[in-house]
Amino acid sequence: MASILGALLRWKLGNDFLANIFGASLIGLLSGLEFRSNIQIFLGIGFCGALTTYSGWMVDVWDLMRNGFFLKAFALLSVTLIVGFLAFAIAFWIGRKTKQSFFP
């Protein structure tokens, strides 16, 4: 069920970059909150797994390279990795701070 919702949101967004960054943020938040239950599996693996799209990202990079836009392809790879990691890290930090506020 969660994977269906994640895939529908990715389709509705229509932008692989936004979907990947949102998914990285959500999985960072879940990791920071340290859910150890079916909720983390449901949201982390199901929803985020279907929301984020490695294959779509690679198709976009490949299309840029195939059309001779090597710098844009490299930029898409680099920016997605860097922004995705930062989104994960910030959301993880927020999750940790939130957890500590409620469970000191």
Read off the pLDDT of residues 25-59 as tens digits, 9 standing for 90 and up.
999 999 898 877 788 888 888 899 899 988 888 99
Length of the chain: 104
pTM score, two decimals? 0.85
pLDDT for 70 equals 97
Domain range holding 10? 2-102
Whole-number Å distance between alpha carbons of 44 and 82: 20
CA atoms within 13 A on the CB side of 39: 8
Long-range contacts of 76-85 (CB under 8 A, 24+ apart): 76/17, 79/17, 80/17, 80/20, 80/21, 83/21, 84/20, 84/21, 84/24, 85/24
Domain count across the chain = 1
pLDDT for 104 equals 67
- The mean predicted confidence, pLDDT, of the chain is 91
